[in-house]
Amino acid sequence: MADNLVIVESPAKAKTISQYLGKDYYVTASMGHVRDLPKSKMGIDTEHDFEPSYMVPVDKKKVISGLKSKIKAGTKIWVATDEDREGEAIGWHLLQALKVDSKKHDVKRIVFHEITKSAILDSIKNPRELNMNLVDAQQARRVLDRLVGYELSPLLWKKIRYGLSAGRVQSVAVRLIVDREREIRAFKSDEYWKITGTFTGDAKTKFEAMLSHINDKKAEVGDKKSSDKILKDLDGASYKIESVTEKLINRNPAPPFITSTLQQEASRKLGFSVKKTMVVAQQLYEGVETDKEHSGLITYMRTDSFNLSAQAIKQAAEVITKTYGKEYIADKPRVYKKAKGAQEAHEAIRPTDLERTPEMVKKFLSRDQFRLYELIWQRMIACQMATAKLKALDVLIEAAKGGSKLPYTFKATGQTVAFPGFMKVYIEDEDDAPETESLTGGKHEKILPPLKENEKLKCDKIDPTQHFTQPPARYTEASLVKKLEAEGIGRPSTYAPTITTIQVRGYIEKEGKALKPTDTGEVVTDFLVEHFKDIIDYKFTAEMEEDLDLIANGDKKWVPIIKSFYTPFHKVILDKEKSVNKADVVNAESDEICEKCGSKMVIKLGRYGKFLSCSNYPTCKNAKPIAKEGGDAAVEAPKIDEELKRKLKDKKCDKCGAPMEVKVGRYGNFLGCTNYPDCKNIQPIITFTGVKCPKCKDGQLVERHARRTGKVFYGCNKFPKCKFATWDKPTNEKCGKCGGLMVEKKDGLACVECTKKPAAGTAKAGAAKSTAVKAKATKKKS
């Protein structure tokens, strides 16, 4: 039994650390949190200082018993969880769940920003005690979020729809997306025209210039009539260079990555979701197998600090000199300003060893790991490189006609790179950047020919083009993270789960990279804005984050902060339960008239969005999708199999005796009682395939739908007695080799038994392949 027990969160992290410590250290993983609030109830005693009732989940009891078995009298326990609030709380919960007696056991807390041998050994030499301020800050966030979720969510069930939920940070994120969508809808597009001239000077090289000024004022051409007048005035005009202005522009690199900027750049450059970025970054942090050892490749990826160690800055200079030359090193080490509330003890995200170039470690990494590591390596190297020097050229062109100067001035701009500096390695992308000239010789860069003042120009053509002003762009995951950070909403550890959660809950959806609110997201947001203004207020949410920071710093106590929030919040909950009418929330008037009975239609919120329903329901059951502008239906109207309706028209409800009718749900047709809502009886419609079950021989395979995804599969109708199921559509054909069930595949028929993943190269594998090929050929022939 080792004298020292080192506990981390994950097996990968344990594997890396165990290499650096001797045989006297046993390194193991807690597999994340080992205690949490119960799922079945709130678990917060609101009457007694909001005391949480923590429990060890069933799946973690084995972990705890395993850890206890490693602790004997005299065992030194090293808590080596991540150095942030979450990691500190995991460490505290571990000790509580293990019931560690401080009198019997020596407990040490060790922290490190990177998983390297030097960092681990240094942490062992410099242990500290658990920081209860950090634990309290995490506990305050957990309690706060639980209070909001467990009191507000049931209200949403009653007043909007069952199954909805609300979150303190998530609901604010949804509001940002809803507000932006409404800005887009309210946007009134204005027409404008660009007038571009193509000119040739003494160098005989064509270049373009834009009409920039009319009568020494910024050119504003609002319609075709104005454009046509300008073209008429310029007909037959002569042109010359009025002025040439050259200036040198210095451009400095972006700072090293912190969590938010890594998520943004990985989204822009690599197309990663914020969740994927954090998953891959975690893998690089915890370590990968290389030729020499299992090693952590980057520093801790949840950080809001731009701080860099002196050692990292020194190594960056050495790598830059060796790779690019001494002239590419910054005049002096770049030190970046601390972000508000950032923990200076933390470092920015950087490679643990800059000598490990992306190409050197590529063979050890997956494609995603390599791309993210390359991005981090480039950003770190670039931030310590020399300033880029650009030459910008502005050329003004005057027009004249009949010896008189016209009131029209054209402007050509161009730029060249005098010295690339950091741009040789890396340039930060921008969200929704206009397609202007790049600074590195990209496809949009304009390089002007040599031009001088008073040089006469030949005009090859004047092109007018019509344009319209564009509404603000929808948020992407990258720009949403940027906005949340700018507003002070959430912290590095919350951005990814927040954005993932609001998509999973169906409040927003993606169109390409853009985030768009669903009807449900808009209705819930409107409800919260009207009735719970503080919960969804940007400033209020940011101030709450600042309070949590003050708790972490030891400047405030957590219980008074929670109490000051909960007392008025709970009062509003009680009030809204009585005063809010569900119909006022989920229904809205419309101008549509029911074509079946002549009554007014109302807009209702269904499970999958808004639709039009007859106000004369249930006498008239007419319902239809809401039309888009231009007349197209927003969603396709549900289709019901008429033959199915005819077959089941005499079906009676087994609970109240009323007729049953065929309805369309998320996963297909089902029978619902016509006496709804007084009777809510529903029955599945079972579609028989006519194929006997190959397992029990007594049952028949029927079409079913997966509960979570709705995906069609085929299972025995004797379930749960017989649990046979297959994703592939069964046929009545038998396998020529084994007599087994044949199912439809994309490339033909295949036998379920013969295709049960035998090891490659075995006789069984060969037989399976042969059977599938023969079946495919048979099907084609027939």
CA distance 670 to 664: 6
How many Å apart are CA 301 and CA 694, to the nearest integer?
A: 52
DSSP-assigned letters across all residues of 597-648: T-PEEEEEEETTEEEEEETTTTT---EEEPBPTTS-BSSPPP---HHHHHHT
User: Which run of H or of E encompasses 286?
Assistant: helix 274-286
CA distance 604 to 161: 11
Task: Note if the bond before 333 is cis, omega within 30 degrees.
Answer: no
Q: How far apart are CA 284 and CA 374, in angstroms?
A: 11
Q: Which helix (H) or strand (E) holds 465?
A: strand 456-468
Angle (deg, nearest 10), helices 85-98 and 132-159? 100
Task: Please tell me the number of Cα atoms within 13 Å of 184 on its side-chain side.
Answer: 14
CA distance 436 to 75: 64
> Which stretches of 22-67 are assigned E, i.e. beta strand?
25-29, 44-45, 51-52
Q: What is the DSSP string of 360-420?
A: HHGGGS-HHHHHHHHHHHHHHHHHTBPPEEEEEEEEEEEEEETTEEEEEEEEEEEEEEEE-
Q: Are 651 and 671 in contact (CB under 8 A)?
A: yes
- Cα(138)–Cα(717) distance, integer angstroms: 49
Q: What is the largest CA-CA distance in the chain?
A: 104
Helix axes 538-552, 477-487, angle to 10 degrees: 70
Residues 36, 39, 43, 44, CA torsion sign: positive
- CA 106 to CA 4: how far, in whole Å? 10
Q: Is 300 a catalytic residue?
A: yes
CA atoms of 60 and 65, how far apart (whole Å): 9
CA distance 376 to 254: 12
Identify the active-site residue in 20, 239, 285, 300: 300
Catalytic residues: 300
